[in-house]
Amino acid sequence: MSEQLSIVMAQLNFLVGDIEGNTELILTSARRAADEFAADVVVFPELALTGYPPEDLLLRPSLKLRVEKALQRILQENLDPILVIGFPESTGDEVYNSLLVTQQGDIAAKYRKQCLPNYQVFDERRYFVAGDTPCTIDLKNTKIAFTICEDLWEVEPARQAKDAGAQMLININASPFHTTKLKERQALVCKRSIEEGYPVVYVNLLGGQDELVFDGGSMAASEGQLTCQIPQFVEGLFPLQVQIDTMGVCRIIKQEILPSLSLEAQVYEALVLGLRDYVMKNRFSGVVLGLSGGIDSALSLAIAVDALGAEHVEAVMMPFAYTSQLSLDCAELQANTLGVSYQIIAINEIYASFLDALKHEFQGLNEDVTEQNIQSRARGVVLMAISNKKGLLVLTTGNKSEIAVGYSTLYGDMAGGFDALKDVSKTLVYRLARYRNELQTGLEVIPLEVIQRPPSAELAPGQLDQDSLPDYDTLDNILEMYVEHDMSFESILEKGFLEADVKRVLRLVDLNEYKRRQGPIGVRLTQRGFGRDRRYPITNGWSLGE
């Protein structure tokens, strides 16, 4: 006679370091899973107890005591469902990235992650020691194995589980988002289910943590086919029904699988989630940003409102002599459409005061980019003052293309706490702006004039971005090859770009590493974002070439 097994995937948003709060979320969710779905097993993400990544919190002397206290609290609840919980396990001087399987107040099994990633945004070998043995439990006439995140990307842990008699694999994850990651995960989960001949259940973390966004997208696969795909960017408890035959062979009952989100939808949801969690988890009351009438600040404002609500967003237009009437009109129109607090604070007198204070220093020197930067820095002073006074986070609005080549001002438009567009290329900015307008029929959240006008910093008369940069299609293609794929000068030239453009762009990227080190963090979207991903020396003698 066959058995039914109810597995609940807890795709939840945990706060790094809040062990007590995370413990309560685990317990509350486990009770809900039992009450609402008659759960036999509730599966939580990787390092759910501490949140991911805990980084150097893992080095704190009190970590072991706090984790042990939390685990005791969970065991004392004596809950009916089996719980699968990711936690850091300290044994003497060694720390493991582990999972605990609890069953009615007892420890049923423990597994230590074997494959510790140490690339891109990961540096787990700094903290953890690798495990080396499989872990299985017997439940309802079947044998279930467990692994953690990177273990699924390597062959050996899944093969060990199969050799240990596993008839199903549950893999817990903290896998951060980038634009192609969901497809990569789907292909991997399906591949493992074919290779090892058992169903694979994949449970992923949700939420923003500094630069990283965890998009969820938990899933299950059998015989190379997805049987369940949980939506990305949605928090909740999601049940799976598993049929177990008399020989213990498992079959996951297939659910309806919704189409994947478009690239624009995925990126936009990641930006909204990343900004919301950064603001809320750091207990800011809201954000303030400079609204210039340009495309970047317009998109940033829309993201902020969608993340936090209009009542938590303040937009400030800071005009100067070179600010066009079109910029003033577009900024006011968008602010009114979205219903945010909107102020106009002209910087003419602030700028004049700076120049007056510097007149002896500047005596006999020609006007140059210095005066343009003072305009930008005057605006930075205004926004930071509002931030200090009102407890608002300054949201900067620079995109990846500009940040890459240094088309930004230190202590000016780079002054702030978070940049939602930090890993968004200029060409993608336009696509996202159009996408956001399409979400609400008949409502132009971002004025069409903003999307259609030529981009300009408006720091000088008649200034346009393309006066000093290649067109953005060319720029973004070169940047993708150099920044995200580490292609050489010669290799990029072979793609058909002008030598002068390639040389100039690559040189600007290299020269402006010092600026990027001092800029705010922002959401990581690509496989090579500035920040945790790409770490080049500021001081170096590297020359262009192969």
250 pLDDT band (50/70/90 cuts)? Answer: confident
In the chain, DSSP finds a helix count (H) and a strand count (E) of: 17, 20
543 pLDDT band (50/70/90 cuts)? Answer: confident
Query: What distance in Å separates the CA atoms of residue 228 and residue 11, rounded to the nearest whole number?
Result: 13
Residue-range domains of the chain with CATH: 3-260 (3.60.110.10), 265-465 (3.40.50.620)
Which residue has better confidence, 311 or 246?
Answer: 311
Q: Which token pair is 274?
A: 């990343």
Q: Where are the alpha helices (DSSP H) in 142-262?
A: 155-163, 181-196
Which residue has better confidence, 110 or 470?
Answer: 110
462 pLDDT band (50/70/90 cuts)? Answer: low
Average confidence (pLDDT) over 410-439: 95
Q: Which token pair is 280?
A: 């809320």
**pLDDT number for residue 375:** 94
**pLDDT number for residue 423:** 95
48 pLDDT band (50/70/90 cuts)? Answer: very high
464 pLDDT band (50/70/90 cuts)? Answer: low
Query: What distance in Å separates the CA atoms of residue 535 and residue 541, rounded to the nearest whole number?
Result: 15
**pLDDT number for residue 245:** 85
460 pLDDT band (50/70/90 cuts)? Answer: low
DSSP H or E run through 201: strand 200-204
SS3 79: coil
Active site residues: 46, 113, 149
Residue whose C-alpha is closest to residue 318's, from 357, 288, 278, 348:
348
DSSP state string for 230-290: PPBT--EEEEEEEEE-TT--EEEPP---PPPPPHHHHHHHHHHHHHHHHHHHTT---EEEE
Q: Are 230 and 38 in contact (CB under 8 A)?
A: no
Tens of pLDDT, residues 286-345: 999 999 999 999 999 999 999 999 999 999 999 999 899 999 999 999 999 999 999 999
What does the mean pLDDT of the chain come to? 93
SS3 472: helix
Q: Are 231 and 217 in contact (CB under 8 A)?
A: yes
| Lowest mean per-residue pLDDT among 58-62, 139-143, 538-542 | 538-542
Torsion angle of the four alpha carbons 61, 62, 68, 71, in this order, in degrees rounded to the nearest 10: -120
Tens of pLDDT, residues 378-411: 999 999 999 999 999 999 999 999 999 999 999 9
Tens of pLDDT, residues 24-36: 999 999 999 999 9
For residue 506, count CB atoms less than 10 angstroms from its CB and return exposed for 0-12, middle for 13-18, buried for 19 or more. Answer: buried
**pLDDT number for residue 128:** 95
174 pLDDT band (50/70/90 cuts)? Answer: very high
Q: Which token pair is 382?
A: 């205004």
Average confidence (pLDDT) over 54-79: 94
458 pLDDT band (50/70/90 cuts)? Answer: low
Tens of pLDDT, residues 181-227: 999 999 999 999 999 999 999 999 999 999 999 999 999 999 999 99
| Lowest mean per-residue pLDDT among 257-261, 314-318, 465-469, 524-528 | 465-469
